[in-house]
């Protein structure tokens, strides 16, 4: 008996204690991490949570957020039932209602707006929560709305735009094989333990680190060179480094000659940014800029590691990243081992050694069958490159009603503080006729919703997740959904039914829809369920280096674009700077030039 008590106190799994270990994942942060969890369950209560050593990506590690899973899941502030607002917007006065009443109300309201003002008058928005985005995207299109929007309008998608403008395809850092890593404003020590351990392993093996960050973070502290720039001056720093690399003849002349477009104009532009001028703009001493440029250019191979967030949170973020990513082209580090490698994207954008039908699933209706997206007029390049509306234009369109009214938002995890001018956006939310927010907690944004729906956490639901180690898992709920909460996926599928969308994949159900997405990989949910801890992908797609030698680059010129054709297209109408000679002449700094290319 005493032994059993001690086993229980120690939360040791087994028949004596009745504790079982169930496999799950943490999804508190982005889809590139999603650490494996071992959830110790007794009497349907999670009594302990540990990092799962079986998960090849996180290898048993958890950050402080994942380690606090039980505090998060069992927090008494969780929304417990569907709620209907009965007080003024923002008052926080709600009354509990049933799921049937909540979902019927939502379906009726959205269909009414569709009938009255067109399906485009309804926005489907994903904020904090990411795992269900593919499902929400299809829901929007099947409803007939082009307005699937996310918080990524100033985040990862915006960073991907810079990749697409320069190379046509993003490329991830091959840290394991790199001799030098240029970390651009990323600090995985605070939010991505999986990546942190890889950086520390590389450091121990002698990899050089250059870290660009306004703050002295743990990542910056391990750098050989820390470039502590003024926030938002990333472009000037990158152009200053390019200036040194070109002037000292350290660039990859063969790669530049054979595979790039617009080098002469780029060189002219870069010539403005002497180390001294870049130092003046960025606050980084000129000698450090020179040292970093030389280290990155001559230490081969070198990987470039950006972050999805801080750089593109500035107004000039895409251009700043475009300047920084041009350094990869200049040094010939694109799509080579130890540099930045192009991997085909799999489920939820994660490269996992197999192909999926994500895009086909999301795009149940083509763009030309629907109205223009939110932001299409003001941000045409966004709409050329990203399969989403531009969320930053939502407040303007709610207020102006042009080019058409926005009457309703069906949101998952919306937080108005993710918008620039947050308070201004909050005011526009008040103008909506109908607003739904799905969340775990009663956030300030939820208080403005007409209906609030309680979401369950990752350990209370089933979820498909893939990892770059060619690994896949389909989790089962480790515990039953708490209170009256539901999985986001269940909410979406149930809503699709009540909206009467007549979409065969929504009609087929969540697992059948996943089977359809996974079909090119030859994987099925049925098979995955037999392996609760996940499995390695059989026969993963092998990756060749320098794939551009076969088909070129997915840019308008088929080459790496120092001068961007896509930006040039909107140079006159929207003032985008492509570095082209004609645009260069119009810039205030052009007076510094004596000669510009004709
Ligand atoms: S890094 Fe932290 S928050 Fe992100 S998935 Fe892992 S444990 Fe969760």
Pairing of strands 83-85, 451-454: antiparallel
28: Cβ below 6 Å to ligand 1?
Answer: yes
Q: Which fold has domain 83-154+347-468+482-532?
A: Rossmann fold (3.40.50)
pLDDT at 587: 55
Q: Class assignment of domain 171-341+545-592?
A: alpha beta
DSSP 448: G
pLDDT of residue 4: 79
Tell me the CA–centroid distance for residue 341 and ligand 1, in Å: 24
CA 102 – CA 505 distance, rounded (Å): 23
* Pairing of β 208-212 and β 340-341: unpaired
Which atom of ligand 1 is nearest the CA belonging to 34? 5
Half-sphere exposure of 110 (CA within 13 A, CB side): 30
Q: What pLDDT sits at residue 594?
A: 47
162/440 Cα distance (integer angstroms): 34
Check residue 349 and give its pLDDT: 84
Quick one: which atom of ligand 1 is closest to the CA of 28?
A: 3
pLDDT on residue 466: 94
**CA of residue 340 to ligand 1 center, whole Å:** 24
Residues 6+ apart with CB under 8 A from 353: 346, 470, 537, 540, 541
What pLDDT score was predicted for residue 586?
Answer: 56
Helices of type H across 342-393: 358-362, 380-385
- Is 276:284 a contact under the CB 8 Å cutoff? no
Q: How far is the CA of 194 from the centre of ligand 1 (A)?
A: 9
Distance separating alpha carbons of residues 442 and 92, to the nearest angstrom:
9
Query: CA dihedral defined by 365, 369, 375, 380, rounded to 10 degrees?
Result: 100
Look at residues 328, 326, 321 and name the one whose alpha carbon lies nearest to residue 302: 328
CA–centroid distance, 40 to ligand 1, in Å, is 18
Please state, in angstroms and rounded to a whole number, the distance separating the CA atoms of residues 571 and 569. Answer: 6
Judge if the beta carbon of residue 47 lies within 6 A of ligand 1: no
Q: pLDDT class for 593, splitting at 50, 70, 90?
A: very low
Ligand 1 pocket, residue 36 CB under 6 Å = no
Band of pLDDT at residue 33, cut at 50, 70 and 90:
confident
Average pLDDT, integer, range 43-52: 97
Chain mean pLDDT for the chain: 94
The verdict on the CB of residue 193 being under 6 Å from ligand 1 is yes
In this predicted structure, what is the pLDDT of residue 363?
97
**What is the distance between the alpha carbons of residues 408 and 501, in angstroms, rounded to a whole number?**
18
| Nearest atom within ligand 1 for CA of residue 64 | 2
- Distance between alpha carbon 451 and the CA centroid of its chain, in Å? 27
Q: Tell me how crowded residue 115 is: count the other CB atoms within 10 A of its CB.
A: 9
Share of the chain above pLDDT 90, in %: 85
- The arithmetic mean of pLDDT across residues 103-113, rounded, is 98
Q: CB of 51 within 8 A of CB of 24?
A: no
How far is the centre of ligand 1, averaged over its atoms, from the C-alpha of 383 (Å)? 31
Least confidently predicted of 8-17, 252-261, 331-340? 8-17
Nearest ligand 1 atom, CA 193? 1
Which CB contacts under 8 angstroms, 24+ apart, belong to 319-323?
319/162, 319/235, 319/577, 320/232, 320/234, 320/235, 320/238, 321/159, 321/162, 321/163, 321/184, 321/234, 322/162, 322/165, 322/166, 322/235, 322/564, 323/234, 323/235, 323/236, 323/238, 323/239, 323/242
329-377 residue pLDDT tens = 999 999 999 999 998 888 888 889 999 999 999 999 999 999 999 999 9
Q: Is 49 in the pocket of ligand 1 (CB under 6 A)?
A: no
CA–centroid distance, residue 446 to ligand 1 (Å): 24
Structure tokens at 79: 């929304």
- Predicted confidence (pLDDT) per residue in 533-543, tens digit: 999 999 998 87
SS3 526: helix
pLDDT for 592 beyond 50: no
pLDDT the model gives residue 506? 98
* Å from CA of 22 to ligand 1 middle: 18
Strands 94-96 and 83-85, by their bridges, are antiparallel
Tell me the CA–centroid distance for residue 70 and ligand 1, in Å: 13
CA-nearest residue, atom 5 of ligand 1: 34
CA of 29 to the centre of ligand 1 (A): 6
* pLDDT tens digits for range 398-431: 999 999 999 999 999 999 998 989 999 999 999 9
- C-alpha 62 to ligand 1 mean position (Å): 6
Look at residue 76 in the predicted model and tell me its pLDDT: 95
Q: What is the pLDDT of residues 477-533, one digit of tens each?
A: 999 999 999 999 999 999 999 999 999 999 999 999 999 999 999 999 999 999 999
Q: Is 52 near ligand 1, meaning CB less than 6 Å away? A: no
The verdict on whether omega for the bond into residue 301 sits within 30 degrees of 0, i.e. cis, is: yes
Ligand 1 atom nearest the C-alpha of 62 is 7
Cis peptide before 220 (omega within 30 of 0): no
Q: What percent of the chain has pLDDT above 70?
A: 96
Cα(155) to ligand 1 centroid in Å equals: 18
What are the extents of the domains in the chain? 2-73, 83-154+347-468+482-532, 171-341+545-592
215 C-alpha to center of ligand 1: Å? Answer: 22
Is 66 close to ligand 1, i.e. is its CB under 6 Å away? yes
Which residue's CA is the nearest one to ligand 1's atom 7? 66
Q: Is the CB–ligand 1 distance for residue 29 below 6 Å?
A: yes
Tell me, in angstroms, the distance from the centre of ligand 1 to residue 28's CA.
6
34 lines ligand 1 (CB under 6 A): yes
pLDDT digits (tens, 9 = 90+) for 263-319: 999 999 999 999 999 999 999 999 999 999 999 999 999 999 999 888 988 888 999
SS3 52: coil
**Is the predicted pLDDT of residue 195 greater than 60, yes or no?**
yes
Name the strands in the sheet holding 535-536, side by side, starting at the edge strand that comes first in the sequence: 463-467, 471-475, 535-536
35 in ligand 1 pocket by Cβ < 6 Å? Answer: yes
SS3 (DSSP) at 470: coil
Does the beta carbon of 63 lie inside 6 Å of ligand 1? yes
Q: What per-residue confidence (pLDDT) applies to 598?
A: 43
Give the mutation target among 25, 60, 190, 193 for probing the ligand 1 site: most ligand atoms within 8 A of CB: 193
Residue recorded with tokens 């503080």: 417
65-99 confidence digits (pLDDT tens): 999 999 999 999 999 999 999 999 999 999 999 99
Q: Is 11 left (phi over 0), alpha (psi -120 to 50) or beta?
A: left
The token pair that represents 311 in the structure block: 């750089």
Average pLDDT over residues 30-54: 93
- Residue closest by Cα to atom 2 of ligand 1: 63
Q: What is the CA radius of gyration of the chain?
A: 25
Distance 24 CA to ligand 1 centre (A): 12
Asked if residue 195 has its Cβ within 6 Å of ligand 1, the reply is no
Closest Cα to residue 273, out of 246, 306, 292? Answer: 246
Measured from the CB, is residue 33 less than 6 Å from ligand 1? yes
DSSP string, 241-284: HHHHHHHTT-S-HHHHHHHEE-HHHHHHHHTT--HHHHHHHH-S
Report the pLDDT value the prediction gives residue 2, as an integer from 0 to 100.
61
Q: If we measure between CA atoms, which residue out of 478, 446, 445 comes closest to residue 461?
A: 478
Nearest ligand 1 atom, CA 33: 5
CA–centroid distance, 33 to ligand 1, in Å, is: 6
Mean local confidence (pLDDT), 229-233? 95
Determine which helix (DSSP H) or strand (DSSP E) holds 24, and give its type and residue range. strand 20-25
**CATH architecture entry for 2-73:** 2-Layer Sandwich (3.30)
Strand 434-439 and strand 408-412: the pairing is parallel
Residue 590: the pLDDT is 47
Is the CB of residue 514 less than 8 Å from the CB of residue 505?
A: no
């Amino acid at each position: 008996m005493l032994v059993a008590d001690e086993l229980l106190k120690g939360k040791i799994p087994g028949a004596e204690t009745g504790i079982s270990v169930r496999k799950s994942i943490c999804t508190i942060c982005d889809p590139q991490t999603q650490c494996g969890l071992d959830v110790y369950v007794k009497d349907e209560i999670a009594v302990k949570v540990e990092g799962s050593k079986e998960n090849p990506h996180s290898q048993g590690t958890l950050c402080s957020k994942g380690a606090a899973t039980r505090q998060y899941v069992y927090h008494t502030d969780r929304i417990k039932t569907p709620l209907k607002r009965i007080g003024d917007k923002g008052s926080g006065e709600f009354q509990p209602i049933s799921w049937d009443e909540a979902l019927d109300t939502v379906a009726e309201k959205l269909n009414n707006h569709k009938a009255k003002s067109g399906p485009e008058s309804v926005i489907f928005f994903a904020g904090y929560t990411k795992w269900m985005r593919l499902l929400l995207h299809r829901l929007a299109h099947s409803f007939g709305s082009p307005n699937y929007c996310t918080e990524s309008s100033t985040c990862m998608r915006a960073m991907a735009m810079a990749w697409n403008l320069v190379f046509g395809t993003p490329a991830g850092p091959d840290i394991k094989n790199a001799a030098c890593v240029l970390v651009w404003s990323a600090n995985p020590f605070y939010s991505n333990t999986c990546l942190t351990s890889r950086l520390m392993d590389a450091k121990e093996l002698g990899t050089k680190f250059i870290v660009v960050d306004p703050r002295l973070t743990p990542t910056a502290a391990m750098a050989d060179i820390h470039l502590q720039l003024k926030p938002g001056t990333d472009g000037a720093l990158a152009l200053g480094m390019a200036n040194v690399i070109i002037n000292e003849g350290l660039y990859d002349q063969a790669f530049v000659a054979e595979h790039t477009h617009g080098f002469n104009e780029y060189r002219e532009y870069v010539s403005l940014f002497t180390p001294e001028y870049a130092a003046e703009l960025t606050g980084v001493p000129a000698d450090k800029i020179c040292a970093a440029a030389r280290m990155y250019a001559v230490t081969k191979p070198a990987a470039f590691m950006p972050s999805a967030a801080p750089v593109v949170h500035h107004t000039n973020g895409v251009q700043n990243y475009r300047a920084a990513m041009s350094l990869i082209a200049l040094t010939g580090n694109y799509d080579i081992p130890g540099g930045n490698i192009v991997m085909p994207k799999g489920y939820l954008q994660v490269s996992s050694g197999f192909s999926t039908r994500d895009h086909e699933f999301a795009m149940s209706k083509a763009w030309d069958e629907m109205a223009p997206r939110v932001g299409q007029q003001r941000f045409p390049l966004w709409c050329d490159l990203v399969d989403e509306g531009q969320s930053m234009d939502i407040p303007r369109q709610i207020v102006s009603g042009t080019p058409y009214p926005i009457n309703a938002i069906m949101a998952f995890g919306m937080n108005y503080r993710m918008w620039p001018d947050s308070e201004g956006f909050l005011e526009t939310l008040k103008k909506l006729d109908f607003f739904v927010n799905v969340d775990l907690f009663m956030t300030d944004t939820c208080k403005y919703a007409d209906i609030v729906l309680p979401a369950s956490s990752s350990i209370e639901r089933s979820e498909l997740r893939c990892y770059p180690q060619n690994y896949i898992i389909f989790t089962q709920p480790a515990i039953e959904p708490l209170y009256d909460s539901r999985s986001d996926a269940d909410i979406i599928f149930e809503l699709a039914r009540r909206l009467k969308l007549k979409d065969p994949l929504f009609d087929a159900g969540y697992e059948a829809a996943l089977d359809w997405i996974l079909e090119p990989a030859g994987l099925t949910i049925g098979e995955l369920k037999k392996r609760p801890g996940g499995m390695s992908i059989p026969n993963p797609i092998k990756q060749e280096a320098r794939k551009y030698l076969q088909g070129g680059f997915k840019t308008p010129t088929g080459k790496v674009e120092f001068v961007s054709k896509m930006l040039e297209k909107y140079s006159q109408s929207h003032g985008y700077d492509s570095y082209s000679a004609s645009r260069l002449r119009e810039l205030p700094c052009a007076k510094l030039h004596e000669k510009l290319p004709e």
